[in-house]
Structure 1
Amino acid sequence: MPWIRIALISAGFCLLLVLPWLQTQLQSEKWYGLKRQISVPALPLHFDDPNGLHILLFGYLSCTQACPPQLIKMHQLAQVSKDLPIYFTFISLDPERDTQDLLAEGIPNLGKNFYFIRPESTQAAQNLALAYTEIATKVYQGKDYEFNHKASLFIVSAQAKIELIYPYTDLNIDRVLQDIRLLLNSLKS
């Protein structure tokens, strides 16, 4: 139904316009990211440390806009947080094109704590993204397609809770690292 797709795209666009304002209204000055405690579906995430954190990105390998800068930011964050129990997980929104082999070839090369999840279908990927408050809409352009998505970074605890959300791609790595240290300390107490 085309009207449903148009409504979803419009809602997503409106959300993108409102997020900067909403962030300033909801954000504590203590945190750079949006502090939340949202229970989410548990994922098969790797945790060597029960107090560890996962930084999740919903994206797709053929993305040319939002995903590359976020993956670079994740890699930069990995470089400055080697002493912390931080794990990075890329969740494919496009399991039809992001094959297991392609993901295994690319994502772990970003660092030793990089993992990936490939849902069984695009619909399963979109449903999972939505459960994490990430809207991902498949948009056809002729025979090809892309995904409209925000490429937010989610910091998730071992208790399957979103602790922090970074709904923008222009991240200050030092401030994200400060949030992570603060969050790790608060989870220990």
Structure 2
Amino acid sequence: MRNVFLIFLVLLLLNACDEPELPSRYHAIDVSWQHAQTGFQLTDFNGIPRSLLDFEGKVVVLFFGYTHCPEVCPTTLADLAQVMRLLGADAARVQVLFVTLDPERDNPELLAKFVPSFDPSFLGLYGDAQSTAQAAKAFGVNYTKQYDKHGDYTLDHTDGIYLLGLGGKPLLLAPYGQSAELLAQDVRLLLSNGR
């Protein structure tokens, strides 16, 4: 019986040494267990090469989309602009990044007009087809072209919003349509707990 107790105690202590899970008070989905390859590099609409390491010390809100998106992308960016307003002074510690999934059409000039029209602090990132695919794959973002009878296309794409902690690790995934109020609460929690 004593051996069973000792084994139980050792297992309990080993379990306590693991990195703690995110508290359940978050509204978004905990993805801290995933091992996303966040080392990709893209270019912002000012021509500056960027990686997620450039934003260490800030909560990064990462969304993949495209400027010709008829609904999901502009709605999401409008919601994220509302999040920034709700955060007030804390918004200075947050960086919203919009990664285009459509490098064929989304050139730097178009991104520079589209992305900051929602909030001047937002950055649009682009790359060639290969680097775009690598960045999307790192976060499990899927996208496919859907052509119409005129040869134009839209993109079907994953529409979640990643929240990366202060150290650059993906921690939360908010589904499309999550309210700005709930997103702002999650961002505040990430800022306050130093993750």
* 8 Å Cα contact 2:56-2:168 kept in structure 1: no
Unaligned ranges ≥5, structure 1: 1-26
Deviations 1:48-79 (A, max 9, x none): 87431111110000010211210111111111
Please show how residues 138-157 of structure 1 align to structure 2 within 5 Å.
138-142=145-149, 143-157=151-165
What amino acid does structure 1 have at the position aligned with 2:73?
C
Please show how residues 97-116 of structure 1 align to structure 2 within 5 Å.
97-116=105-124
Matched residue, 1:34: 29
> Could you state the TM-score of these two structures normalised by the residue count of structure 1?
0.75
Distance 1:55 1:125 in 2: 17
What amino acid does structure 2 have at the position aligned with 1:78?
M
What amino acid does structure 2 have at the position aligned with 1:117?
L
Matched residue, 1:76: 82
What amino acid does structure 2 have at the position aligned with 1:179?
D
What amino acid does structure 1 have at the position aligned with 2:105?
R
What SS is found at the alignment partner of 1:81?
helix
Matched residue, 2:186: 179
Please show how residues 1-189 of structure 1 align to structure 2 within 5 Å.
29-37=24-32, 38=34, 39-42=36-39, 43=41, 44-45=50-51, 50-84=56-90, 85-121=93-129, 123-142=130-149, 143-167=151-175, 169-187=176-194
* Number of aligned residue pairs: 160
Matched residue, 2:17: none
What SS is found at the alignment partner of 2:144?
strand
